Amino acid sequence: MHPAYSVIFFTTATGAGYGLLAALGLSAAAGALPPDFWLGLIGLGLALSLICGGLLSSTGHLGRPERAWRAFSQWRSSWLSREGVLSVATFVPAGLLGVGWVLLGQAGAWIRIAGLASAAGAVATVCATAMIYASLKPVPQWNSRYTLPGYLVLSALSGLVLLNAVLSLFGGSHPSVVLVALVATAAGWAFKLATWRHNDRIVPVVTANSATGLAGGTVRSIEWPHTEENYLLKEMGFRVARKHAARLRLVAQGLAFAAPILLLLLAAASGGAVSMALSLIAPLVQLAGLLVERWLFFAEARHVVTLYYGR
């Protein structure tokens, strides 16, 4: 599939933003983080900025961005519409959490409810985003059991690394947050490797033979359907060389998983300004790696319509 940069940024930014929002919401609900104006302002502000920036960038892939509002009306049948509805609905408890936990400095029962609702909305929105791709049967790399949990684990690990960076600005990182971020990043690395292994072993269910009903021999195209590329080839016939994909997979692993783990360990072992600097660098490096991972997510996906064009 054609890797549109607006959608790549959208899935990366909103994933990290919703991961951070869920982490803050759960922390506030559990009382793990006491009310603090600047901590809450920077944390929630960063989460909502990533979410809003990602949602706005996603309109760049629309042919008529001014009609994006119409997507909200198809929530009964469209995961894209459900994602839009959930993303907007999540702003309600997130706003209540911001008012009560950040501005008023409260930690009562309604703050716990707002925190849990914010986390639930964040998780539901990420699930809806994942199902946009997981529900597409013509793309076997997406229509698998790995897509939905993959989106969730990448959102969780990026949100936790961001939370650790925010906490490093206010008296240092919390050992429990560092530990959970390390575990989540390692689990995400293992899950990504399993996903790539699964995708590399996919056997096409639909072939030129099955499409034409000719069981004997090998059906192949003698002539191209047309002489120039069209919309289908541009959007769904993108091809990336295997050697380039292998290199980019190494880059994604190094930046999104290996480097953040190393930086978090070094930050935990050091102190003061060094620890803060390493904690702040970790999410920047990780988000760069996740952009590469998202590019591969689209570029390596193959739509069955390309069979018509001999690909």
The domain made up of 5-62+71-212+230-309 is a member of CATH 1.20.810.10: no
Rounded to an integer, what distance in angstroms lies between the CA atom of residue 159 and that of residue 161? 6
Can you give the pTM of this predicted structure? 0.90
Q: What is the pLDDT along the chain (311 residues), one digit of tens a residue?
A: 677 888 899 999 999 999 999 999 999 998 888 888 899 999 999 999 999 999 888 776 666 666 666 777 777 888 988 998 999 999 999 999 999 988 888 878 888 999 999 999 999 999 999 999 999 998 899 999 999 999 999 999 999 999 999 999 987 778 899 999 999 999 999 999 999 999 999 887 777 777 777 777 777 777 767 767 776 777 776 777 677 889 999 999 999 999 999 999 999 988 888 999 999 999 999 999 999 999 999 988 888 877 777 66
